[in-house]
Amino acid sequence: MSQNININVNYLTRVEGHGNIVVEVKDGKLEICRLEIVESPRFFEAFLRGRSIYEAPHITSRICGICACGHTLASIQAAEDALGIKPSEQTTLLRKLLLHYEHLDSHLLHIYLLVAPDLVGVPSFVPLIKTHPDVVRRALKMKRLCNELCDILVGRHVHPISTVVGGFTKLPRVNDLEEMHKRLLELQKDMEATVELFSKLTFPDFERDTEYVALVNDGDEYPLLYGDIGSTDGYRVSKYEYKNVTNEFIVPYATAKRTRWHRDSYAVGALARFNLNHEKLHPKAKQAANVLNLKPKCINPYFNTVAQIVECVHCVEDAIRIVETVWQNGINYDEIVVPDINELGKLPQRAGEGVGAVEVPRGLLIHHYECDERGIFRNANCVIPTNQNTHNIELDMLKLVPEIINKSQKEITLALEMLVRAYDPCISCSVHMVEVNFK
């Protein structure tokens, strides 16, 4: 029995951004257990003021390099909502395609490079180059394929170029569709190998029941780009009521805001989406869930990574469907939009307020904008998935530590690091807690 434990993980590794884990056990009693966010804030919401709402996707993309396309899409949705722009069917399809690429790219980075080393007990993917060269090669190849898909569709993955308010500044040509199709078929094969590989690996055994929150819809599509906000506790509200979901509150030892809805905390992300929308997954993804032993309602947070693998299978299949649909319909190049801050006045300008709610790799992302009649920012507010998970992670840690308190400090530290990593936290994003009172 460890009577005294002091864990101080400064700058948690293999996560995006800077966070610390602090645990103190005194005389066998857990006294402190918290996840601290120590990223330098950049004050995005403050310096958006005075900029054109048409610049929002370009600027907010820079909140995060890993979820750049997700921020861009949420930003576009909020801006178009404020300006009263309705995207065309073609634009919506291509945005859904981009969101699939975003999920694939981010999930694969997390699954292979950030989580897998823990499952085989090494500090990073570097030692795996020698021990599992085929796996490392496959991981890097899949990453490259995802990047190439984004390059073809929007110019690049980190800070997409051609996806803007109103649509796309460049549309794929037929040979681009062909190239994307070819790469997706390759990814399809690689996903089979990925499912096979992870079915042999063991994830830690730990459970804590919580409320899972994700976008939901009435259709049969797995909701990622549009939907209402739903919960596994049976609630559903429109995206405009997001503040009634997040109920941000402050804990005395951390400056970052936390969120809770019907319980002490809730979780967002791949596992939340799976728990709420598993029936809408592509049949192949359902099959993968079976093979990987993932069943709804799964309450083991370590299985978030498994849910990501299942989502990757779904995203590849649905991306193939979209590319084929666009190919068959033919692309209407008249829809190409002129970029920049609407100097040509091709798009409407008006005073307004808009909300974008998009499921990005780490969960529900909200952008909320308000602009004046010239389309200049008055206020901006972003609610980031990682912030919504922070309190849930801490409550998980509180339940986990007593269960493993007889292990060595090193083992406890690793278990906690793995727990935080499972949520795939994105800390660069999460320092954007904002206090804006929209009137």
Partner 1 sequence: MSKPKVAFFDFACCEGCQLQVANIGEPLLDVLDIVQVVEFREVMSEKWDGEFDVAFVEGSITDEHAVQRVKRIRERSKILVALGSCATIGGVNGMKNSFQLEEVGKYVYGESYKFFPTIHTKAVHQVVKVDYFINGCPIYQPEFLTVLKCILQGIPYYVPEYPVCVECKLNENVCMYDRGLTCMGPVTKAGCNSWCINNGNICYGCRGLTINPNTEGFKEVLKKYNIPEDFLMKKIEMYNKCKELDKS
Q: Is 100 a residue that touches partner 1 (CB under 8 A)?
A: no
Q: Is 359 a residue that touches partner 1 (CB under 8 A)?
A: no
Q: Give the C-alpha separation, 359 to 205, whole Å.
A: 27
Stretch binding partner 1 (CB under 8 A), from 10-18, 80-88, 219-227, 350-358: 10-18
Q: Is 143 a residue that touches partner 1 (CB under 8 A)?
A: yes
Helix, strand, or coil (residue 78): helix
Q: Give the C-alpha separation, 127 to 135, whole Å.
A: 12
How big is the CA angle at 16 (ends 241 and 67), to the nearest 5 degrees? 50
Stretch binding partner 1 (CB under 8 A), from 124-132, 304-312, 364-372, 395-403: 124-132
Decide whether 29 or 141 has the Cβ nearer to partner 1: 141
Q: Is 344 a residue that touches partner 1 (CB under 8 A)?
A: yes
Decide whether 168 or 222 has the Cβ nearer to partner 1: 168
Q: Is 368 a residue that touches partner 1 (CB under 8 A)?
A: no
Strand bridging mode 19-26 / 29-37: antiparallel
Contacts (Cβ under 8 Å, ≥6 apart) of 40: 18, 431
Decide whether 156 or 208 has the Cβ nearer to partner 1: 156
**Dihedral of CA 270/275/280/283: which sign?**
positive
Angle between helices 409-422 and 385-403 (to 10 degrees): 150
Structure tokens that stand for 408 in this block? 């060595």
Binding residues: 45, 64, 67, 426, 429, 432
- Out of 336, 351, 404, 405, which residue is the one contacting partner 1 (CB under 8 A)? 336
Rounded least distance, CB 429 to partner 1, Å: 8
Q: Are 169 and 124 in contact (CB under 8 A)?
A: no
Taking residues 161 to 180 in sequence order and writing x for each that binds partner 1 by CB under 8 A, - otherwise, the string is xx-x---xxx----------
Residues 27-66 that bind partner 1 (CB under 8 A): 39-43, 45-47, 49-51, 55, 58-59, 62-66
Q: Is 204 a residue that touches partner 1 (CB under 8 A)?
A: no
Q: Is 157 a residue that touches partner 1 (CB under 8 A)?
A: yes
Q: Is 332 a residue that touches partner 1 (CB under 8 A)?
A: no
- Out of 32, 120, 129, 251, which residue is the one contacting partner 1 (CB under 8 A)? 129
Structure tokens that stand for 355 in this block? 């909300």
Q: Are 196 and 189 in contact (CB under 8 A)?
A: no
Q: How many CB atoms lie within 10 A of CB 317?
A: 18
Structure tokens that stand for 327 in this block? 């190919």
Residues 247-276 that bind partner 1 (CB under 8 A): 250, 255
Binding residues for Ni(2+): 64, 67, 426
What HEC string does 138-201 produce?
HHHHHHHHHHHHHHHHHCCCCCCCCEECCEECCCCCHHHHHHHHHHHHHHHHHHHHHHHHHHCC
Binding residues for Fe cation: 67, 429
Query: Which residues contact partner 1 (rule: CB under 8 A)?
Result: 11, 13-17, 39-43, 45-47, 49-51, 55, 58-59, 62-66, 68, 109, 113-114, 117, 123-126, 129, 136-137, 140-141, 143-144, 147, 154-159, 161-162, 164, 168-170, 250, 255, 336, 338-340, 343-344, 428, 432-436
